[in-house]
A = this chain, B = another copy of it.
């Protein structure tokens, strides 16, 4: 399918994946008068609870996928590790946005880094690793410390092993299960920022200003906006995100995570990762901007004009990970705290259960 539809209120957006991102997409779609149909294999998917239509089936169930495609106007996803066969099957029946080719590039850390480097955008040094011998060679080339990451299916620090010295090679190779991998040079960064940007069918790109992120145990802990970086660097970050979105012929919201490094007194940006979906570091936009990343994504995949969001103050977003969500009563009682709980049932260590946003007046600064 190559023609992209323009949805109208009452139409249905199909979403692959039933986690909190799907749930927040569905809530944003509902405000705009659109229905959502969630397709997810997990029975307790929290996105099921806020939509009219749901399919609980494996991503390989072609009969279920065909019924799903029939029932929706367009397909999108909240989860980038959708099997390629699933998106291929669906795109023969309905538009799948963002296009699955973009998904394939960023599903693999090696093709992702190669793609970014080819655009002339900085990244940490990297090398492909498919054997212990290649790992030794990569360490010789890039030095240590460095980080070994599986090419596929990694998120929140999963599938990674640090190589502090060349003698860690064998242990790191075992730790990631000898999977096809990439070795990345360790970057001593000043701070981590991310840009959440939307691109629509007409090629218009609208980016939220860069957010500054703090991770704990490889999981996003806190996002602050505005990032404490010079305005010019913030502009560059937006340009990078737009360049990537255009090169991917992307329709929807994506997030680009970047390191800010001090290169002999001059600050530079290195792209760390592209997330081809709405992103945790954009959750602040629900309460902190006149349109959220979820609304932007829905507008883009619906073939609608993008919103021009305005930030409503200085914003801080704190993730509630695992049993931190048990502090919900504290946040409910805290003046100015906007509490979000994802309805995911029992907290488990490392599981994202909710978030809290604070909006502080900043004298009218806006992006």
Residues of A within 8 A of B (CB): 8-10, 23, 26-27, 30-35, 48-52, 286-287, 290-291, 299, 304-305, 307-308, 310, 312-313, 325, 328-329, 332-333, 335-336, 338-343, 345, 354, 359, 361, 363-364, 366
Whether the pair B30, A50 counts as a contact (CB closer than 8 A) is: yes
**In the complex, which residues of chain B have a beta carbon less than 8 angstroms from the beta carbon of A359?**
290, 310, 312
> A49 touching B49 by the CB < 8 A rule?
no
* Shortest beta-carbon distance from A302 to chain B in Å: 9
Which of B290, B308, B336, B342 is within 8 Å of A290, CB to CB? B336
* CA A26 to CA B31, docked complex, whole Å: 11
Contacts of A341 in B (CB 8 A): 9, 31-33
Report the minimum CB–CB distance from A205 to chain B (whole Å): 15
Expressed in whole angstroms, the Cα–Cα distance for A30 and B20 within the complex equals 11
Closest chain B CB from A53 CB (angstroms): 9
Determine the chain B residues whose CB is within 8 A of the CB of A304 once the complex forms. 329, 332
Q: A32-B339, A313-B312, A364-B361 are in contact. Are A332 and B345 (CB under 8 A)?
A: no
Task: Check A9 against B328 for contact (C-beta < 8 Å).
Answer: yes
Q: Across the A-B interface, give the 6 residue pairs with the lowest CB-CB distance, nearest first.
A: A33-B341, A49-B52, A308-B335, A305-B333, A9-B341, A312-B312
Task: Collect the chain B residues with CB atoms within 8 Å of residue A35's CB.
Answer: 49, 343
- Rounded to whole angstroms, the CA-CA distance of A338 and B359 in the bound complex is 19
Docked-complex contact B287 and A290, CB < 8 angstroms: yes
Query: Closest B-chain residue to A365, C-beta based?
Result: B361
Measured between C-beta atoms, what is the minimum distance from A289 to chain B in Å? 10
Q: How far is the CA of A26 from the CA of B299 in the complex (A)?
A: 22
Given contacts A336-B308, A354-B33, contact A10 B343 (CB under 8 A): yes
Cβ B361 vs Cβ A291 within 8 A: no
> Can you list 26 pairs linking A and B with CB atoms under 8 Å apart?
A9-B328, A9-B343, A27-B27, A27-B30, A27-B31, A27-B50, A30-B50, A31-B286, A31-B339, A31-B340, A31-B341, A32-B341, A33-B340, A35-B49, A35-B343, A48-B52, A50-B50, A290-B359, A304-B332, A305-B332, A305-B333, A307-B335, A310-B336, A310-B359, A363-B364, A364-B364
Most buried by B among A336, A343, A345: A343
- What residue of chain B has the Cβ atom nearest to residue A333's Cβ? B305
CB distance from A30 to the nearest CB of B (A): 5
Measured CA separation A33–B24 after assembly (Å)? 12
A161 to chain B, nearest CB (A): 35
In the bound complex, what is the Cα–Cα distance between A366 and B364 (angstroms)? 13
Asked if B48 contacts A9 (CB within 8 A), the reply is no
Give A6's nearest chain B residue, CB to CB: B329
Please name the residue on chain B nearest to A361 by beta carbon.
B364
Verify B32–A49 contact, CB threshold 8 A. Answer: no
A320 CB, min distance to chain B CBs, angstroms? 10
A63 smallest CB distance to B (angstroms): 25
Chain B residues in 8 Å Cβ range of A345 = 10
